[in-house]
Structure 1
Amino acid sequence: MALAGALLTGALAGCGDGPVRMGAAAVVGDDRISTAKLDQAVLDCQRQFKNDQVANQVRAALESQRQQQPMSGEPADCSPRSALDTMVNFEVAEAAAKTAGVSVTEGQVDQMIGLMGRQAPAESIVVALGMPKEYTRDVARMNAAQSLILQKLGADGNQQSPASLQARQQALSLFRQAAGKLDIRINPRFGSFDENRMTVSPVTTRLSATESGVR
């Protein structure tokens, strides 16, 4: 029991210092993502994924791609960490867009949903990526913000062109700066925010020499 207590005790891991507020899964700037909101999103995603054959097919394809290309990213699932990662990045994308001087209109959100749904329903893609379908517009808005930022930074539509590669590097730097200014704090129950990778990293448990009894 003493060991379990040590594992569960510690300062907040994240970009900022100090604990998150009671009942919060994360605090991003002035916004609070409650554990209740996160739990509901996870439950809804799991239920919808179970009943959505297309979402199952999309996730299987993504997992196959990830296995073939290990650097293609984290596996998609309806887990609390995956959902929280997306919710945090909604806020980061909004902040980065403001810094870049771009704004996303509802029409551009509609266009992005259309692009997302070219091969499968956009809502099914969102569920496959680990969020319930109710967040489809939020995901589209985040993607639209990223696209507008890249365009403003000089991306020319060819992902491998020097201009697009440079724009991606500049955009990543912009997103990292936005995340740093937001002072993101993650409840250690869900992991910690990795500002370099722009993702919520898994929970890690590490005992100090004193806590583990090793001098």
Structure 2
Amino acid sequence: MPGGTMVRRRTAVSIAAAALLAASPALTACGSGPAHPGAAAVVGDQKISIATLQHEVDQVRDAQSRSPQAAQLIGQSGKLPQQTLSMLVQNKVIDKAVSDAGLSVSTAEVQQSHAQALQQFGGDESQFEAALLQQYDIVPSGIDTFLRTNIAVGKLIQSLGFQPGSDNGNAAAIAVISKTAKSLGVDVNPRYGTWDAKKAIVGATNEPWVVTKTATPADPSA
């Protein structure tokens, strides 16, 4: 996989799943328009529905509730709806940026990346899945998308002349992603926050418009 190890060291995937989401969620006045019926956000001509966002949030909460570390995982992901919508928007923008750069990611590359990541966990798929859930709020059904985006961002950084995972590479990728988002047009339903064009994230809203399940930690003895 381009850029070295994954999960235990935040490499190129930080652009897609960590660094942008960890940035300050300060609200800005730009990049957010009127609400679209049934949409949490619209990227170009692609709609991210409220139902899709809710489904993604529910999947993560359900997985967290079944984990032995349920209380910890749920407690440390209080901004899950905001982060999830940011990631859904970013994935679409990244796909466009990578395509515009003449780059692509094959299924074989995703499979190879998966195999390499598993080596870090002695081939134990369950440990790998637990690490992704803990560090990035990724559920098993989202692993291929996660890996594909990781590879894509790594290729984008390399195409810009930087080493994946480097600060300069991350900054360069954020700049390209932000420019692509501006070109596409990102319209976030104000109920879910505001699109911060500079950081390429969805800023927080004070209203819990996305229902966050209050999950009960699983009983390990059950």
TM over 0.5: same fold? yes
Deviates most, 130-139 or 80-89: 130-139
Query: 1:167: how far off?
Result: 3.3
User: Whose radius of gyration is greater, 1 or 2?
Assistant: 1
> Are residues 1:15 and 2:31 paired?
yes
Structure 1 residues 49, 148: CA separation in 2 closer, same or farther (over 3 Å shift)? same
1:53 Cα offset (Å)? 3.4
**2:150 corresponds to which of 134, 138, 143:** 143
Cα-to-partner distance string for 1:69-104 (whole Å, 9 max, x where unaligned): xxxxxx645722121111111101101111222111
Structure 1 position 124 matched with structure 2 position 130: yes
Structure 1 CA distance for aligned equivalents of residues 129 and 35 of structure 2: 31
Aligned twin of 2:193: 191
Residues 125, 184 of structure 1: alpha-carbon distance in 2 compared, 3 angstrom cutoff: farther
- Once residues 110 and 121 of structure 1 are traced to their aligned partners in structure 2, the CA distance between those partners, rounded to angstroms, is 17
Q: Partner residue of 1:153?
A: 160
Q: Distance in 2 between matches of 1:145 and 1:77?
A: 28
Change (3 A) 1:40 1:204: closer
Report the 3-state secondary structure (helix = DSSP H, G, I; strand = E; otherwise coil) of the residue aligned with 1:189: helix
Q: Secondary structure at the match of 2:190?
A: coil
* Change in 2 beyond 3 A, CA 1:55/1:176: farther
Seen in structure 2, the aligned counterparts of structure 1 residues 24 and 178 have a Cα distance that, compared at 3 Å, is: same
Percent of residue pairs identical: 26
Alpha-carbon distance in 1 for matches of 2:71, 2:146:
18
CA distance in 1, matches of 2:70, 2:153: 23
Distance 1:14 1:50 in 2: 36
The amino acid of 2:200's aligned partner reads: M
Q: Secondary structure at the match of 2:100?
A: helix
Query: 2:178 is matched with which residue?
Result: 176
Check 1:87–1:125 CA distance in 2 against 1; reply closer, same or farther (3 A cut): farther
**Structure with greater helix share of residues:** 1
| Structure-2 separation of matches of 1:122 and 1:20 | 38
Give 1:39 deviation, angstroms. Answer: 0.8
- Please say if residues 55 and 125 of structure 1, whose CA atoms lie closer than 8 Å, have aligned partners that are also in contact: no
Aligned AA for 2:31?
Answer: C
Deviation at 1:122, TM superposition (A): 3.9
TM-score by length of 2: 0.66
For CA contacts below 8 A with separation 6 or more, give which structure has more relative contact order: 2
- Kept in 2: contact 1:126–1:139 (CA 8 A): no
TM-score (normalised: structure 1): 0.68
Alpha carbons of 1:123 and 1:30: their partners in 2 closer, same or farther (altered >3 Å)? farther
Gapped regions of structure 1 (runs ≥ 5)? 1-12, 64-74, 206-215
Give the distance between the partners of 1:112 and 1:56, measured in 2 at CA: 30
